[in-house]
Homo-oligomer: A and B are copies of this chain.
Amino acid sequence: MADYIAPIQRLIEQFRRLPGVGAKTAARYAFATLNLSEEECCDFADAISGVKRDVHKCPVCHGLSASADGCDICTSPARDSSVVCVVENAKDVMVMERVRGYRGLYHVLGGALSPLDNITPDDLTFDSLISRVEAGGIEEIIIATNPTPSGDTTAAYLARILEKYDVTVSRLAYGIPVGGDIEYADEVTLYRAMEGRRFFNN
């Protein structure tokens, strides 16, 4: 593939690192970059090199933070520190934050248990979560791992190690997405929706 001159070929190869970007899309991106002004190009390059430099890991929740001392959520006095939502990845925190109603804190595990990928409890931040629970003040842990085999395993493992502490443990409800159609729901989702059904006269 020496179809392009060296600096363009080099940029195409960089764009191909991005998820779901093949040779054609990467070439399209490279030519679009070439059409940016000198200043826009500098801003773009700077944003990429800056993201590694300016993004820190929060020492409390292990989520992404603009400051090395702690993320905005953990350090905010407006948040309810008695509820902690446990998620797999830092990105999930931002997804959950779009649900404006939630005012509690988070804990990022850094992945999900997966024997096939050699991810054991030692690779995740369970110890750090237990320390937070032992420090006191936490009343409820909401497990928000993905509804996948590894997410389910992680949720079950977490529920078990939390058994001996005086905290309520819950997991996000799984069922038919709002606006979805029963006709197009898969069997597993329907089964989960049946299992998690709510009674009107309760």
Q: Which residues of A contact B (CB under 8 A)?
A: 3-8, 10-11, 13-14, 17-20, 27-34, 36, 38, 40-55, 64-66, 71-72, 91, 94, 97-98
Contacts and interface: CB of A to CB of B under 8 A. Distances in A.
A7 B66 contact: yes
Contact of A51 (B3, B17, B30, B91): B30
B55 A8 contact: yes
A139 B98 CA distance: 65
A32 B18 contact: yes
A11 B50 CA distance: 9
Contact of A29 (B18, B27, B66): B18
25 contacts: A3-B97, A4-B94, A5-B55, A5-B64, A5-B65, A5-B66, A5-B71, A6-B54, A6-B66, A7-B54, A7-B55, A7-B66, A10-B47, A11-B48, A11-B51, A14-B47, A18-B33, A20-B28, A30-B51, A31-B91, A34-B51, A34-B52, A34-B55, A38-B52, A45-B45
Name the prevailing secondary structure of the A interface residues: helix
Contact of A32 (B3, B11, B17, B97): B17
B41 A52 contact: yes
Contacts of A30: 51
Contacts of A11: 47-48, 50-51
Contact of A49 (B28, B42, B52): B42
* Ranked 7 nearest A-B pairs via Cβ: A7-B54, A45-B49, A45-B45, A45-B48, A11-B47, A14-B47, A5-B66
A186 to B, nearest CB: 22
